[in-house]
Copies of this chain bind each other. A is one copy, B any other.
Amino acid sequence: MSTGFFGDVTRIKYEGPESTNPLAFRHYNADEMVMGKRMEDHLRFAVAYWHSFAWEGGDPFGGRTFERPWFPADTMSLAKMKADVAFEMFQALGSPFYCFHDADVRPEGANFAENTRNLEEIVDYFARKQEATGVKLLWGTANLFSNRRYMGGAATNPDPDVFAFAAATVKTCIDATHKLGGANYVLWGGREGYETLLNTDLKREDTQLGRFLNLVVDYKHKIGFKGTILIEPKPQEPTKHQYDYDVATVYGFLKRHGLENEVKVNIEQGHAILAGHSFEHELELAQALGIFGSIDMNRNDYQSGWDTDQFPNNVPEMTLAYYAILKGGGFTTGGTNFDAKLRRQSLDPEDLLYAHIGGMDTCARALKAAAKMVEDGTIIRHVEKRYAGWDTPEAKKMLDGSHSLSDIADYVANADINPQPKSGRQEYLENIVNRYV
């Protein structure tokens, strides 16, 4: 029943660190226990349907490089051929999850009704495949950016009909996600932003976006969808400025619209970097703010100024990410999605496998290193000790509101407080990290 797309590849096996088989895992071993939990249950890998099966290899200076038998997938039959290959790859990799946009999986219809029918048909097809394979849906989402109707935004479009079309489309995508048992539903507002302030009313667009998200949350509860609603921050690209700029910006938006307990974030490494942050910054901030949800584990090239969506490969960097996640208790509904695309010169089916194997293996190494960091506890204890002074009664009074600014000034003056700096020990701590990676 194989499509033959991947030749005779069936299931990628774990062969251990010494293997030189490019089609084997060297580190990812689904059943291996890490901190008392199976590696698979920690990492919760997902393959992104769009990059691996719908993207054609184009860039702003050149068109399609990939040749796939299902391109252009503008008929239901080609869409199903694509699905067959996709699920074949999920199984070959042993990926427990996948993610998709409506536009990745169904032919584009002439109008909303046709889009909906197409989506429903493919959802039925996916449901059968999920059942047959055991692969599950990490999250569904609506593509509200590719069609030209969204060129000026979806929820934030100056034209209310676009808002309506987008809202209707999201409804169908939440329905699809719910039906497929999705663990989360994601909103990425790639065109929710602006190209120029000269034609933009920031306040109106914020109101529209806040309403849109409230509609989504209300609908989720109405239909009993238990998954998490996630916003994926990104600072720019495609637009010059996107409203979901970074974690801090999304937090402010949620708080403004009363949604900080309803919505969490899906953080992408590459987007963190485009926003001027490290990945671990965005992760730790989201946890501190109580809105951490899921991750897109795909990196940006540090020398490129656009979203390169590359498979991850730097274990020390990834270790800091999983360290942040493990410290915060790990994923609940979220997981590790590879929102990563092949380089456009990686033409062959096996390149898809190499890329995912490499990504999964490096995540596994990073997870194990991070677990050792947590279990060892040297760094955590160092941090606790650094702030230990705040446990004194005098210090607590400053934080709990019993001391006013004048009280504190009196204290400083009377006790002649003259604090002496202590080493921040950054290099020492960086050396400790290198014990584990």
Name the one of B303, B412, B413, B416 contacting A278, with C-beta atoms under 8 angstroms: B303
Could you tell me the distance in whole angstroms from the C-beta of A389 to the nearest C-beta in chain B?
5
A130 part of interface (Cβ distance < 8 Å): no
What's the dominant secondary structure at chain A's contact region? helix
B59 and A409: CB pair below 8 A?
A: no
Stretch at the interface among A35-43, A73-81, A178-186, A339-347: A339-347
Interface check A200, CB cutoff 8 A: yes
Supplied contacts A163-B395, A255-B256, 17 more A-B pairs, CB within 8 Å: A22-B428, A112-B418, A149-B420, A158-B389, A168-B408, A168-B417, A199-B425, A204-B387, A204-B390, A207-B399, A211-B398, A216-B405, A219-B406, A222-B406, A241-B281, A276-B303, A346-B426
Q: How far is the CB of A25 from chain B (nearest CB, A)?
A: 11
Complex CA–CA separation, A144 to B15 (angstroms): 43
Shortest Cβ distance from A286 into B: residue = B202
Say yes or no: A421-B151 contact (C-beta < 8 A), given A159-B389, A204-B390, A433-B198: yes
**Is the CB–CB distance between B198 and A426 below 8 Å?**
yes
> A44-75: contact bitstring with B at CB < 8 Å (1 yes, 0 no)?
00000000000001111111110000000000
Decide: A168 and B59 in contact? CB cutoff 8 A. Answer: no
This protein's copies in its complex: 4
B429 pairs with A198, CB closer than 8 A: yes
User: Does the CB pair A238–B59 fall under 8 Å?
Assistant: yes
Does A261 sit within 8 A of B, measured CB to CB?
no
Which A374-432 residues have C-beta < 8 A from chain B?
Answer: 379, 382-383, 386-387, 389-390, 392, 394-395, 398-399, 401, 403-406, 408-409, 411-413, 416-432
Interface residues of A, count at CB 8 A:
159
Complex-state Cα separation, A146 to B152, whole angstroms: 27
Per the bound structure, the CA–CA distance linking A342 and B429 in Å amounts to 13
- The answer to whether A354 and B431 touch across the interface, beta carbons within 8 angstroms, is yes
Contact of A383 among B159, B200, B251 (CB under 8 A): B200
A385 nearest in chain B by CB position: B158
Contact of A429 among B151, B199, B403 (CB under 8 A): B199
- A343 and B427 form a contact (CB under 8 A): yes
A90 at the interface (CB under 8 A from B): no
25 residue pairs from A and B, CB less than 8 Å apart: A60-B307, A61-B237, A62-B151, A63-B146, A65-B421, A111-B416, A152-B422, A164-B408, A167-B408, A195-B424, A196-B429, A197-B324, A201-B386, A201-B387, A214-B401, A249-B249, A251-B256, A273-B303, A302-B302, A304-B305, A313-B433, A345-B426, A346-B423, A350-B428, A358-B431
A159-176: CB near B (< 8 Å → 1, else 0) gives: 111111101101110100
Residues of B within 8 Å of A218, CB to CB, are: 404-405
Indicate if the CB atoms of B148 and A422 lie closer than 8 Å: no
Within the complex, which residue of B303, B311, B358 is in contact with A277, where a contact is CB–CB below 8 Å? B303
Whether, in the assembled complex, A30 has its beta carbon less than 8 Å from a beta carbon of chain B, the answer is: no
Are the C-beta atoms of B424 and A343 separated by less than 8 Å?
Answer: yes
Q: Which of B158, B206, B214, B422 contacts A288 (CB 8 A)?
A: B206
A198 in contact with B379 given A237-B304, A347-B423, A430-B358 (CB within 8 Å) = yes
Question: What B residues does A314 contact at CB under 8 A?
Answer: 314, 316-317
B428 lies within 8 A of A351 (CB): yes
- B222 A412 Cβ-Cβ under 8 A: no
Q: Give the Cβ gap from A153 to chain B, nearest Cβ, in Å.
A: 10
Given contacts A277-B303, A394-B160, A404-B215, A357 and B196 within 8 Å (CB-CB) = no
Indicate whether A161 sits within 8 Å of B303 (C-beta atoms), given known contacts A195-B345, A204-B390, A412-B112.
no
In the complex the two chains form, is B62's CB within 8 Å of A145's CB? yes
- Distance in angstroms from A21 CB to nearest chain B CB is 11
